[in-house]
């Protein structure tokens, strides 16, 4: 079970912008889309969580560590703001649980024997391809 991480809304910078795409005349005069910016290094998140977030291969993350999100799925600004926060929480909670440490194990006796047998079989196959000696 993953522990849910909460993000303080004061650490998130939100601005309303005009949405793209179809929408008729309304899209040209009403700023319904939300542009969300979350500075990961300056946030109050735990250090290990920050490191895992910054290591993610995400195109929405800038080189300075700022997560930039644009929400324009809905027709109202409030719905887009809630959608942006939900997507931010989903992104942060995706790495909330630390990865399970890997324990080194030895190969089993049977797997070693099978590997050596296949090597010797392959070797004999290649030896049969050689030209006969005089």
Question: What's the CA gap between 85 and 30, in Å, rounded?
Answer: 21
Domain range enclosing 84? 9-93
Residue 44 lies in a domain: yes
Residue-wise pLDDT for 37-51, tens only, equals 999 999 999 999 999
Tell me whether residue 98 is in a domain.
no
- Answer yes or no: is 110 within a domain: no
Assigned domain for 105 exists = no
pLDDT tens readout for residues 79-99 = 999 999 999 999 999 998 888
Number of domains the chain is built from: 1
Q: The CATH number of the domain where 31 resides is what?
A: 3.30.160.20
Report yes or no on 133 lying in a domain: no
119 within a domain of the structure (yes/no): no
- List for the chain the helix, strand, coil content (%; round to 5): 40, 15, 45
Domain presence at residue 18: yes
pLDDT digit string, tens, across residues 71-82: 999 988 999 999
132 or 89, greater pLDDT = 89
pLDDT band at 115 (very low <50, low <70, confident <90, very high): very high
What are the phi and psi torsion angles at 18 (to 5°)? -75, 140
Q: Minimal CA–CA distance to 68: which of 43, 39, 31?
A: 39
More confident residue, 67 or 21: 67
Distances from the Cα of 82 to the Cα of 79, 86, 89, angstroms: 5, 6, 11
Whole-model pTM? 0.71
Query: Is 34 within a domain?
Result: yes
């Amino acid at each position: 079970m993953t522990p849910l991480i909460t993000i303080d809304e004061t650490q998130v910078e939100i601005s309303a912008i005009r949405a793209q795409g179809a929408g008729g005349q309304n899209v040209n005069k009403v700023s319904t889309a939300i542009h969300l910016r979350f500075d990961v290094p300056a946030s109050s998140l735990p250090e290990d969580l920050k490191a895992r977030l910054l290591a993610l291969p995400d195109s929405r993350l800038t080189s300075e560590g700022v997560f930039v999100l644009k929400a324009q799925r809905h027709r109202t600004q409030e719905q887009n703001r809630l959608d942006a926060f939900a997507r931010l929480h989903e992104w942060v909670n995706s790495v909330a649980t630390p990865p399970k440490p890997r324990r080194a194990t030895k190969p089993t006796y049977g797997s070693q024997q099978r590997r050596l047998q296949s090597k010797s079989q392959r070797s004999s196959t290649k030896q049969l391809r050689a030209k006969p000696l005089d």
